[in-house]
Amino acid sequence: MTKNYRIKGMTCEHCSNAVTEEVSEIDGVTDVTVELESGIARVSGHDFTDAQVTAAVEEAGYEVIEED
């Protein structure tokens, strides 16, 4: 399964790295790609939930504004 999340508040590479690090720690996540320019995080894996991804993004200091 692969899902996309639009994230609000990222302004630099440090921001995208923080989101990548937090989301990567979720059980079941096998790959995370964060595109700073578009604000999209592409999360792949199995058995993870939107709520887990949202919580990880918030832990990094940002906000999920759209799930796809």
| Per-residue model confidence (pLDDT) at position 68 | 83
Domains, the chain, in order of start with CATH, read: 2-67 (3.30.70.100)
Burial of 57 (0-12, 13-18, 19+ CB in 10 A): buried
- pLDDT tens, residue by residue, 14-64: 999 999 999 999 999 999 999 999 999 999 999 999 999 999 999 999 999
Q: For residues 66 and 27, give the distance between their C-alpha atoms in angstroms, rounded to a whole number.
A: 22
| Per-residue model confidence (pLDDT) at position 62 | 97
